[in-house]
Amino acid sequence: LRRSHLPHRFNQLFQNITRSDKDARCKQEWIDQCKRKGRGKSLVSSYDGPNLTVTGVDLAVSQSDAADETSFFTFEVLPTGERLILDVDTCKWDGPTIVDKLFSKHERYHSYIRVENNGCQEFIRQFALKRNIALPIRPHRTGVEKAHPEFGIEGLFIELANSAWIIPCNLFGECSPALQRFLDSCLY
């Protein structure tokens, strides 16, 4: 049931948890202001511009129905310091497909790649480097750092509060399904 509902609906229907924007670590108004900056923009399939691009990878290799999905999240760092989301890609892929996608994301977005390095996920990075040692891929340690006020999840929320992110959406504020799942995760 959890997989068939958005996080907030599952919490409301099955766990009797409602969301209060007053108490939330991430506020809807912050996301809305970032969406206003991205109104009329869309995710892109490639990028050839001059700015730094980064692809963050959150790995999940289990193929079971209850398992999480692997996520690739690519953004451009603008000269103003703002971050423009270019691509969000999630699915349940096997290891070789994930390695292929690492190279594809780098080729299409010219991005530096950061891969979570806890557990067996470090193997994916090692396999990619064995294929091509020049791939700009670095491990990203997750653990207690997730709570770090600057580099962890809280830092992302501060950036959203400061309108440092540009969230592509249509004129009605609707995002791609994968991007909307990311935003729902921030809120819930």
* Under 8 Å between Cβ of 60 and 68: yes
149 φ, ψ (degrees, to nearest 5): -65, -20
| 52 conformational bin, left if phi > 0, alpha if psi -120 to 50, beta if neither | beta
Is there a contact between 114 and 77 (Cβ–Cβ < 8 Å)? no
- Cα 55 to Cα 49, 86, 112, 134: the distances in Å are 15, 9, 6, 16
For residue 33, the model assigns a pLDDT of 97
pLDDT at 22: 73
Task: Enter the tokens of residue 104.
Answer: 């594809």
Please give the Cα distance from 118 to 38 (Å, whole number): 33
Mean pLDDT in consecutive groups of 10 residues from the start of the chain, 188 residues: 64 70 84 98 97 92 74 97 97 90 97 81 84 87 61 84 97 95 89
Residues 90, 91, 93: CA angle, nearest 5 degrees: 125
- Residue 182: φ, ψ to 5°: -60, -45
Residue 142 and residue 51 in contact, taking contact as beta carbons nearer than 8 Å: no
What are 13's strand-pairing partners? none
**0.75 exceeded by the pTM?**
yes
Listed residue (136, 155, 141, 179) closest to 41, CA to CA: 179
pLDDT, residue 59, reads 83
Distance CA 184, CA 59 (A): 19
